[in-house]
Amino acid sequence: MRRRTLSSLAIAACAFTLAASFSPAASASAGHGSHGGHHGSAPEYKRVGYFTQWGVYGRDFQVNDLETSGTAAKLTHVNYSFGNVSADGKCFTGNVPGEADAWADYVRPLDAANSVDGVADTDDQKLAGNFNQLKELKAEHPGLKVMISLGGWSWSTHFSDAARTAASRKALVASCIDLYIKGNLPVDGTRGGKGAAAGLFDGIDIDWEWPGSAGDTDTVYRPEDKRNFTALVHEFRTQLDAYAKSAAKGRHHGAKPKHYDLSAFVPASPEKIDAGFDVPRIMRDFDFVNLQGYDFHVSGEAKTAQQSALYAKNDYSVDRTVRDWLKRGAPARKLVMGMPFYGQGWTGVTGGGDGLGQPAAGPAPATWAAGYEDYKALRKLAESGTYKVHRNTRDGSAWLFDGTTLWTYDDPQVLRTKAAYIRDHRLGGAMFWSLDGDTENGELIMAVDRGLSHR
């Protein structure tokens, strides 16, 4: 997972460590329960989409776009990325450049054209911004769940410190529940206050990258992270259940407690799994986990390669990731396959052929960050006539190549193949990073939805 304008840089650094064991020539480059009720789709599979806080700026991707594209009706969960953990081990928000963005979260007013309900925000609302729009989206889709995702590549910095002791774990979890589940937001002008976001979030997604092994340059990690992560997950489960029971008693006698979902983004690398994840124990507390199904190779490497193949010989792949989690004790029904709504790209590719596995000069120029491009932009390249679409139907991968520049990505055909794999292996569903990469009419989410529904 990534954060802000450093998106491709951060994810490249994360994936470099993963890919380097298979790619000796890789060079480091600065850097991702219960069912929702969506319409016209089989409800047994989760469809988890990450909505990026910062996407509302340059990309101008608003919560309302999930409604107009038809995407919201096909999702069971929206994971809002990201919430941050402070140096003193607490969930927090505010307006701190690079660390928190309360303006985007709940302060920024939306006009009628960008509002899910078609009504402009007023100055005296306690809740505005993305949070209010997500609340409006839930009103339109009562089965849809919204999760707060904590951490990500750039904001996993203080997880290891916060998880070190029983007292620090209790304090971290209590602060996250207070801020997001109870909705007690800091006051910012007329916005925020006690219970301002109550009822918005239906659970917590832990995106600690990575317990027990290296992540971003300033992220702390320790050998004891594995034990502490297991205890932290259990603390989240315990406090979420306890809050649900107390809240039910507060409503009326005999009220059924709400179930708050608990999930995590987890790695593809076997080394990272073993360093930080006691799989049998954590899976008892998690409703599901979102598997890293992308960035197996990244644009910071010296040679082009697949980033998200379903199968690959002697290399990372989606199938290998699934099997690695299964053999460590994860139930198939709790494994949600990660799918990229973007591509990794190289330029200065030499060696001819279809371009794959060839030397490259560096990351390809792109809209937001070199080497990283949204699917909606890659789709236009595929239609331009300049690039040729190449496929390995056996491995379940696709890439674009114009003789000089190569992009590895997933298109609808690849995603339909992956959806069939989910059905065949009885996995928990599909996850998408990130929703702002899809087309205006939700082409990718539609392909997955139809594939999971076998339509």
pLDDT (0 to 100) of residue 8: 39
Within 10 angstroms of residue 454's Cβ, the number of other Cβ atoms is 9
**CA angle (205, 209, 227) in 5-degree steps:** 85
Domains defined for the chain, CATH in brackets: 4-344+412-453 (3.20.20.80)
DSSP code for 255:
P
pLDDT (0 to 100) of residue 49: 98
Beta bridge pairs of residue 188: 191
Q: Between 15 and 148, whose confidence is greater?
A: 148
pLDDT (0 to 100) of residue 4: 40
Q: For the chain, first and last CA: distance in Å?
A: 30
Taking 90 as the threshold, does the pLDDT of residue 234 lie above it? yes
Q: Are the CB atoms for 444 and 430 separated by under 8 Å? A: no
CA distance 253 to 379: 55
pLDDT (0 to 100) of residue 252: 75
Q: Where residue 28 falls among pLDDT bands split at 50, 70, 90?
A: very low
Tokens of 127: 């809740």
Taking 50 as the threshold, does the pLDDT of residue 12 lie above it? no
Tokens of 404: 């000089």
Within 10 angstroms of residue 180's Cβ, the number of other Cβ atoms is 25
Taking 90 as the threshold, does the pLDDT of residue 14 lie above it? no
Backbone angles phi, psi at 183, to 5 degrees: 75, 30
pLDDT (0 to 100) of residue 318: 98
pLDDT (0 to 100) of residue 1: 60
Got the DSSP string for 329-396? T--GGGEEEEEESEEEEEES--S-TTSTT-B-SEEPP-SSBTTEEEHHHHHHHHHSSSSEEEEETTTT
Taking 80 as the threshold, does the pLDDT of residue 359 lie above it? yes
pLDDT digits (tens, 9 = 90+) for 43-96: 489 999 999 999 999 999 999 999 999 999 999 999 999 999 999 999 999 999
- Catalytic hit among 99, 136, 140, 209: 209
User: Helix, strand, or coil here: 406?
Assistant: strand
Once rounded to an integer, what is the mean pLDDT over residues 280-291? 98
The burial of 254, by beta-carbon neighbours within 10 Å (0-12 exposed, 13-18 middle, 19 or more buried), is given as exposed
pLDDT digits (tens, 9 = 90+) for 122-146: 999 999 999 999 999 999 999 999 9
Mean pLDDT taken over the chain: 92
Q: Are the CB atoms for 363 and 29 separated by under 8 Å? A: yes
pLDDT digits (tens, 9 = 90+) for 394-449: 999 999 999 999 999 999 999 999 999 999 999 999 999 999 999 999 999 999 99
pLDDT digits (tens, 9 = 90+) for 243-257: 999 999 888 777 899
pLDDT (0 to 100) of residue 455: 66
pLDDT (0 to 100) of residue 73: 98
> Is 271 annotated in the active site?
no
Q: Between 453 and 1, whose confidence is greater?
A: 453
Taking 50 as the threshold, does the pLDDT of residue 42 lie above it? no
Q: Are the CB atoms for 144 and 35 separated by under 8 Å? A: no
pLDDT (0 to 100) of residue 414: 98
pLDDT (0 to 100) of residue 10: 41
Q: Are the CB atoms for 383 and 371 separated by under 8 Å? A: no
CA distance 135 to 202: 11
Peptide bond into 210 cis (omega under 30): yes
Chain centroid to Cα 128, Å, comes to: 23
Distances, alpha carbon 22 to alpha carbons 11, 142, 263, 315, in Å: 17, 45, 29, 6
Q: Between 38 and 302, whose confidence is greater?
A: 302
Q: Are the CB atoms for 33 and 396 separated by under 8 Å? A: no
Which residues, other chains included, contact 368 with Cβ-Cβ below 8 Å and sequence gap of 6+? 5, 7, 8, 58, 59, 374
Q: Are the CB atoms for 13 and 30 separated by under 8 Å? A: yes
pLDDT (0 to 100) of residue 254: 77
Taking 70 as the threshold, does the pLDDT of residue 102 lie above it? yes
The burial of 328, by beta-carbon neighbours within 10 Å (0-12 exposed, 13-18 middle, 19 or more buried), is given as middle
20 sits in which H/E element: helix 7-20
Peptide bond into 434 cis (omega under 30): yes
- What phi-psi label fits residue 233: left (phi over 0), alpha (psi between -120 and 50 degrees) or beta? alpha
What's at 249, amino acid-wise? Answer: K
User: Whole-model pTM above 0.85?
Assistant: yes
